A and B are shown apart, each in its own frame.
Chain A
């Protein structure tokens, strides 16, 4: 059952569940951050509307910098602004930032210890028709490996708004993983949020396995849990929206309680959230694991649903992974 303490959206399993894009949540969060703190500045590389930074740029034109299609410059200019006390948010498609400008993020932001917030939109293969060049499925791996970087992967628009606002005050570099398409809203304004805090969205008294999901795929993980329960298999589902720093305590506790873990993410299996969980559990409390994600392949054109099914990240695949791990 849904965790009542988290005040989640009780209509999340309805057919007409409200759907909002995660990038929209970022746009609203940045606008709220800009209203709260005059030191917040926004920079974009020619994708202002696509990344929803337009909500900020229209309200605060004097605190917005359009750098053009120049992602390397985007990152390092933000570093310079941060050196002068600003709190810069930079946005682009994740393939280009943190993709193309990884070294500038590593050296001029993280090595330099400048609290720049990097919003990468259009992650996952559910970017859809644009095809594989624009589907960032390596971004978690390349950001979490950099010292000082905080990595956030909100599950819906409301959590993205909270994550964006919270990132303003960390004093560290932060990567915020966003997605293009509209996805079900699972949380509410009342759902608690804290960077570094994993939450159990679906609870069970006697779980036979645990699912740890991040991003919008969490919804499919919850659907899988519901369906499994109806068929007599009880699982718990965790929303892991902070991938770094990892909430090791909650994850270890979760592994102790569930005994078997399936991770679910719209990202390469290698180096992603599942790898981060495995690093933690292999050291502290090894349990059998299955990994739902892209298995060392590039994306392609298609509708989000087609692609999620093709790359074995749909509800059916999650259920299959749970059934498989139960036999291990």
Chain B
């Protein structure tokens, strides 16, 4: 499906607004994960406003696609995308990580039942998505139009369970399963290739019988195209390795692993939002 320039610009604007809201939420919360949340904003914008078959007004619609966020610590971007898509008021983002909030520090379905999964401990999201895809295959065979999306971090490629799940999905030829890896090259202790070298990631996934697509994780058109291709791949699951820049959107935060697990201060947040709102005057934001 060709994506029009108008749609493209709209999606860019969505991504920008997702970033602004998550920065605001993180500043108020005073803790949380900034880098991964920012760098996945473009992918979340495409998913929630273009690719996903879902209905924010009917979160329990049985026929919906499923989205499992495995690396639950980047939930600020999930919550922000959900709020902007209409699942709950954008204003509620300001309750992030507070006592009694539906927006727990790591996603928890007890508090926000419209989540497909509670997550936080790394490495188990893909397995859950595999289970969902298997259920869909049992019920609908190979004709199912439903897709199960699993969003993974690159750090959790170090978890053995990720590979247990990859193996099973390859064996079961789960064409209805699409994984996305946020390849931002950082994790808590440093750069991934220093902590535990992961390359060649693509060869590893191909070896387990997955179709591999590598993209610029900030190019809206490439993201949308990759999902379109993934939906058309038959006979095997697809993994999209999205090359992203940690902290994308705020140059001061970019490419620095120290932003993995801390929030911006009030001043840093104001600076970040100012940059995001103007972005060289290229994007018209609802905040302008």
Residues of A within 8 A of B (CB): 41, 62-63, 65, 67-68, 70, 72-73, 75-86, 88, 103-104, 107-108, 111-113
Contacts and interface: CB of A to CB of B under 8 A. Distances in A.
Contacts of A77: 127-128, 130-131, 134, 165, 168
27 contacts: A41-B138, A63-B138, A65-B134, A68-B167, A70-B168, A72-B160, A72-B161, A76-B161, A79-B117, A80-B68, A80-B128, A80-B134, A80-B135, A82-B131, A83-B128, A83-B131, A83-B132, A84-B132, A86-B138, A88-B131, A104-B127, A104-B161, A107-B120, A107-B121, A108-B117, A108-B127, A113-B110
B118 interface: yes
A76 B131 contact: yes
Given A112-B109, A112-B117, A80 B130 contact: yes
A70 B129 CA distance: 16
Given A80-B133, A81-B135, A107-B120, 11 more contacts: A68-B164, A70-B164, A72-B124, A76-B131, A76-B165, A77-B127, A77-B131, A77-B168, A80-B135, A84-B131, A111-B108
A285 B172 CA distance: 55
Contacts of B167: 68, 70
Contact of A104 (B66, B117, B124, B133): B124
B147 to A, nearest CB: 13
A107 B109 contact: no
Contacts of B131: 76-84, 88
A47 to B, nearest CB: 16
Contacts, number: 101
Interface string B132-144: 1111101100000
Closest 6 A/B residue pairs (Cβ): A80-B131, A76-B127, A84-B135, A73-B164, A70-B164, A80-B128
B55 interface: no
Interface of B: 66, 68, 108-110, 116-121, 123-124, 127-136, 138-139, 160-161, 164-165, 167-168, 172
Contacts of B123: 72
A78 B124 CA distance: 11
B127 A85 contact: no
A86 B167 CA distance: 22
Which of A62, A67, A103, A113 has most chain B Cβ within 10 Å? A67
Contacts of A88: 131
Which of B110, B118, B123, B133 has most chain A Cβ within 10 Å? B118
A75 B130 CA distance: 11
A285 B66 CA distance: 50
Contacts of B161: 70, 72-73, 76, 104
B124 A108 contact: yes
B120 to A, nearest CB: 7
Contact of A62 (B66, B117, B133, B138): B138
B164 A67 contact: yes
B170 to A, nearest CB: 12
Contact of B127 (A63, A68, A72): A72
Contacts of B119: 107
A201 B276 CA distance: 72
Contacts of A104: 124, 127, 161
Contacts of B120: 107
B168 A111 contact: no
A108 B168 contact: no
Contact of B132 (A67, A68, A70, A80): A80
A171 to B, nearest CB: 15
Contacts of A108: 117-118, 124, 127-128
B134 A107 contact: no
Contacts of A103: 121
Nearest to B123: A72
A67 B124 contact: no
A84 B124 contact: no
B165 A83 contact: no
A78 B165 CA distance: 12
Which of A70, A80, A85, A112 has most chain B Cβ within 10 Å? A80
A166 B139 CA distance: 24
A81 B133 CA distance: 8
Given A80-B135, A104-B124, A73 B168 contact: yes
Contacts of B168: 65, 67-68, 70, 73, 77
A73 B136 CA distance: 18
A57 to B, nearest CB: 14
A70 B165 CA distance: 9
